[in-house]
Amino acid sequence: MSELQGSEGTTQRLPVIEKAEYEPPPVQEFEGGREGRFWSARRVPAAVVAVLLLAVTGTFLYDIAAVRAHRPAMAWRRELAHQLATRPLDDTWVLVGAGVAAVLGLWLLLLAATPGLRAVLPMRRPEADVRAGLHREAAALALRDRAMEVAGVQSVRVRMGRARADVRAVAHFRELGDVRADLNEILDEAIRGLGLSRPPSLSVHVRRPGRKG
Partner 1 sequence: MLRIVNRVLIGIVGLVLLVVGGSVLAIGLGAPAPSWWIHNGRHDVLLSNAERTKWQDHGWWWPTVIAALAVLVLLALWWLTAVLRRRRLTEVLVDTGDGEGALLRGRALEGVLASEAGELDGVAQAHAHLTGTRTAPEARVHLLLEPHVDPSTALHHLAVQALTHARNSAGLEKMPAEVRMKAVKHRQERVS
> Closest separation between CB of residue 22 and partner 1, Å?
9
Count CB-CB contacts under 10 A for residue 171: 23
Closest CA to 127 of 11, 37, 1: 1
Q: How far is the CB of 206 from partner 1 (least distance, A)?
A: 15
Alpha-carbon dihedral angle through residues 64, 65, 71, 73, given to the nearest 10 degrees? -10
Q: What are phi and psi of 49, to 5 degrees?
A: -65, -40
**Pattern 125-164, partner 1, x by CB under 8 A:** -xx-xxxxxxx-xxx-xx-xx--xx-----xx--------
Sign of the CA dihedral running 114, 119, 125, 129:
negative
Backbone angles phi, psi at 15, to 5 degrees: -60, 150
For partner 1, give the closer residue by CB, 39 or 76: 39
Choice between 49 and 163, CB closer to partner 1? 49
What is the sign, positive or negative, of the torsion defined by CA atoms of 68, 69, 71, 77? negative
Q: 167 to 186, contacts with partner 1 by CB under 8 A?
A: none
For partner 1, the binding residue among 37, 42, 180, 198 (CB under 8 A) is 42
Angle of CA points 144, 150, 155, to nearest 5°: 50
Least CB distance to partner 1 at residue 72 (A): 16
Which 49-88 residues touch partner 1, going by CB under 8 A? 49-51, 53-54, 57-58, 60-61, 64-65, 68, 81, 84-88
Interface residue with partner 1, options 2, 31, 34, 41 (CB under 8 A)? 41
Q: Which CB, 50 or 163, lies closer to partner 1?
A: 50
CB of 188 to partner 1, least distance (A): 13
Among 188, 190, 189, 148, smallest CA distance to 172 is for 148
107 touches partner 1 by CB under 8 A: yes
